[in-house]
Amino acid sequence: MSRATRTGLAAAVFVLLVSGQDFSEVKVEQLAKGYSFTEGPAWSNKDGYLVFSDTPGDRLLKWVPGNAVEVFRESAGGPSGNAFDTEGRLYTCETHARRVTRTDRKGAIEVLADKWEGKRFNAPNDIVVSKTGHVYFTDPAFGEQSDHRELDFYGVYHIAPKAPMKLVAKPNGRPNGIALSPNGRILYVVNSDERNIRTYDVDRNGDTSNERVLISGIAGVPGGVRVDEKGNLYVAANGIAIYSPDGKSIHMLEMHGRPSNCGFGEPDLRTLFVTAGGMVYRVRLEARGAY
């Protein structure tokens, strides 16, 4: 057996051991189409439905399994990333309104943050909420968003349940997707310009430290990121790039169109929803998303 063959077999075994997934059996199904640009798929574990953003259309859409997609909210501030907390409340990054909001289960909307030190955010992009209620979000600026900036930096922020908002980082490139490890002790931040993922340790108070690069040289322009229960990372880039918790490449899941974001959902959390262009896709996996 040649050295190249042994290397290929070792790589295949590594993929199966780490992911437990035979990717040759994966099927990509189209769930929704006809939108200008979709973003922010987020699953409500509490109420069993998917929310995603139609950013240019200024709408949040909702899908309940077995039903057609319906409008969740019009005039939604140019929504991008979304996340649910353990109470079933929806958190949304509103890029046009330049703020982060929280919607309770009755539909009441609360503005969580819209300024840093008196200046309006650039355009909040993606968001994650820990099991204990700590909120982390990115604030880059893409395209026309750059023309209206009041802040002279891109930011990553932390909103604690009972403490003032803190600035986690001021990256040189634009931060985009954001996620937490299954135990909530590591924060992952995608940088679209640098094409890498930085990580931060998270302490019991939700504060971050020890910034370092985990993954570099991501093919394409990386956007959203999500994590499965084993800590593997799923990054929206040229396709869905899958990495082990220590940053090793596992697989590239090819998609129709360029993915902007992804998120696990359905009752067993084994479906990966992917937003790409004007589409939303549904991919059933053996992996289970981190709650």
> Is residue 111 a part of any domain in this protein?
yes
CB atoms within 10 A of CB 11: 12
> Is residue 118 a part of any domain in this protein?
yes
> Is residue 227 a part of any domain in this protein?
yes
Rounded to the nearest 5°, which phi and psi values hold at 200? -140, 140
Q: Which two tokens stand for residue 203?
A: 């302490």
DSSP annotation of 73 reads E
Q: What per-residue confidence (pLDDT) applies to 4?
A: 41
Sign of CA dihedral 159, 163, 165, 170: negative
**Can you tell me the distance from the alpha carbon of 85 to that of 88, in angstroms, rounded to the nearest whole number?**
5
What pLDDT tens digit does each residue of the chain (291 aa) get? 444 444 344 444 434 444 556 666 788 899 999 999 999 999 999 999 999 999 999 999 999 999 999 999 999 999 999 999 999 999 999 999 999 999 999 999 999 999 999 999 999 999 999 999 999 999 999 877 777 899 999 999 999 998 999 999 999 999 999 999 999 999 999 999 999 999 999 999 999 999 999 999 999 999 999 999 999 999 999 999 999 999 999 999 998 889 999 999 999 999 999 999 999 999 999 999 998
Helix or strand (DSSP H, E) at 263: strand 259-265
Q: Which two tokens stand for residue 244?
A: 């082990």
> Is residue 4 a part of any domain in this protein?
no
Q: What per-residue confidence (pLDDT) applies to 19?
A: 52
> What global pTM score does this model have?
0.92
Q: What per-residue confidence (pLDDT) applies to 21?
A: 65
Range of the domain at 70: 19-284
> Is residue 9 a part of any domain in this protein?
no
Helix or strand (DSSP H, E) at 5: helix 3-19
Q: Which two tokens stand for residue 79?
A: 């929504």
Q: What per-residue confidence (pLDDT) applies to 24?
A: 62
The domain that holds 36 is classified in CATH as: 2.120.10.30
Contact 269, 287 (CB under 8 A): no
**Can you tell me the distance from the alpha carbon of 83 to that of 149, in angstroms, rounded to the nearest whole number?**
25
Integer angstrom CA distances of residue 284 from 26, 33, 193: 7, 18, 30
Q: What per-residue confidence (pLDDT) applies to 159?
A: 98
Q: How many domains does the chain have?
A: 1
> Is residue 59 a part of any domain in this protein?
yes
**Can you tell me the distance from the alpha carbon of 110 to that of 225, in angstroms, rounded to the nearest whole number?**
25
Q: Which residues contact 205 (CB under 8 A, 6 or more apart)?
A: 160, 163
DSSP 3-state helix, strand, coil percentages of the chain (rounded to 5)? Answer: 10, 45, 45
Q: What per-residue confidence (pLDDT) applies to 203?
A: 97
> Is residue 269 a part of any domain in this protein?
yes
> Is residue 189 a part of any domain in this protein?
yes
Q: Each residue of 186-208: b (16+ CB within 10 Å) or e?
A: bbbbbbbebbbbbbbebeeebeb
Strands 271-276 and 115-116, bridge-based pairing:
unpaired
Q: What per-residue confidence (pLDDT) applies to 15?
A: 45
